Structure 1
Amino acid sequence: MLRSRSIPTLIALALLGACADTRTPQAFDQRMAGFVGRPEAELVAGLGVPSRTYEADGRRLLQWDFLQPNPGPALYPSIGLGFGSFGFGRGGGSGVGVGTGLGFPVGGAAPPRGCSVIFETRDGTVQSFNRNGPGCVA
């Protein structure tokens, strides 16, 4: 039987689980590994036109560059400078104030994460792949 204190805890855990980023490099690798052993035409049909191609020593390298949106908010320090004035009616005086502050804005768009994937093909068949970058998640 659940106690009344454990219900808010369960709700909080459920919300945290819902917010978790389930995309992983392992899932990306599994998706890309599905192209190994397949014809090059299926690779291009699945990923689109490659960004670059290289040919050397009887093998062909096809490169794709992807940008993934960053799941987190942009957090970066900023420095502000403010000016103000104040007064107290009927000759009570007046003055000018200057202040500085340090802020951490939350919620802006974080820069996207890049991913580069290179597939090696021989005789029109995908042999292997290699990935690089923090955006290689699926």
Structure 2
Amino acid sequence: MLRPRSIPILAMLALLGACGDSRTPQAFDQRMTAYVGRPEAELVAGLGVPSRTYDADGRRLLQWDFLQPGAGPAVYPSIGLGFGGFSFGRGGGSGFGLGTGVGVPLGGAAPPQGCSVVFETRGGTVQGYNRNGPGCIA
């Protein structure tokens, strides 16, 4: 039986597990491997029209190029330099200021990541595939 104090800890662990990113190259490979041994028509039906095809020596190469959105906002430190002047009204004083600062810009997105997948078919059946690029995640 669970003690009342352990329930919030279990809820927190469940939330942390839900925050994990399930988009991995292994998940991508699992999705693409499902097409091996299947008819070429199923491959095209699943992935859409290929970007390029190449026929030679009884085999056909079909290439798809994908863009995955960036992982999140582009966060990078920046350094700023500022100048300014001030005055205290009539007959008061005046001065000049100089300052530096470090900040993190808000907004913007990381650049998309590319992925290229080439499937080989023989006799209309998918034989295998090769992937290339950091965007090959599912």
| TM-score, structure 2 as length reference | 0.84
Determine the structure 2 residue equivalent to 1:108. Answer: 108
Higher mean Cα deviation, 89-98 or 112-121? 89-98
Contact 1:21 1:71 in 2 (8 A): no
The alpha carbon displacement at 1:124 in A equals 1.2
Report the residue type matching 1:58 in the other structure.
Answer: G
C-alpha distance in 1, partners of 2:107/2:90?
44
Determine the structure 1 residue equivalent to 2:77. Answer: 77
User: How many aligned positions are there?
Assistant: 136
The alpha carbon displacement at 1:131 in A equals 0.8
Determine the structure 2 residue equivalent to 1:3. Answer: 5
Contact 1:40 1:121 in 2 (8 A): yes
Higher mean Cα deviation, 96-105 or 84-93? 96-105
* Change beyond 3 A, Cα 1:47–1:102: same
For 1:26-46, what per-residue CA distance to the aligned partner results, in whole angstroms no more than 9, with x for missing partners? Answer: 111111111111111111111
For 1:68-103, what per-residue CA distance to the aligned partner results, in whole angstroms no more than 9, with x for missing partners? Answer: 112332122333232322222232211232333332
C-alpha distance in 2, partners of 1:11/1:74?
31
* Change beyond 3 A, Cα 1:106–1:18: farther
- Quote the RMSD (CA, aligned, Å): 2.1
What SS does the corresponding residue of 1:53 show, helix, strand or coil? strand
Report the residue type matching 2:17 in the other structure.
Answer: G
The alpha carbon displacement at 1:106 in A equals 4.7
Off by >4 Å, runs of 4+ in structure 1: 9-12
Contact 1:85 1:94 in 2 (8 A): yes
C-alpha distance in 1, partners of 2:87/2:43?
72
Report the residue type matching 1:20 in the other structure.
Answer: G
Task: Kindly indicate whether residue 87 of structure 2 is the aligned counterpart of residue 87 of structure 1.
Answer: yes
Contact 1:82 1:99 in 2 (8 A): yes
C-alpha distance in 2, partners of 1:15/1:88?
55
| TM-score, structure 1 as length reference | 0.84
* Change beyond 3 A, Cα 1:99–1:53: same
Task: Kindly indicate whether residue 24 of structure 2 is the aligned counterpart of residue 24 of structure 1.
Answer: yes
C-alpha distance in 2, partners of 1:48/1:83?
56
Determine the structure 2 residue equivalent to 1:45. Answer: 45
C-alpha distance in 2, partners of 1:56/1:15?
51
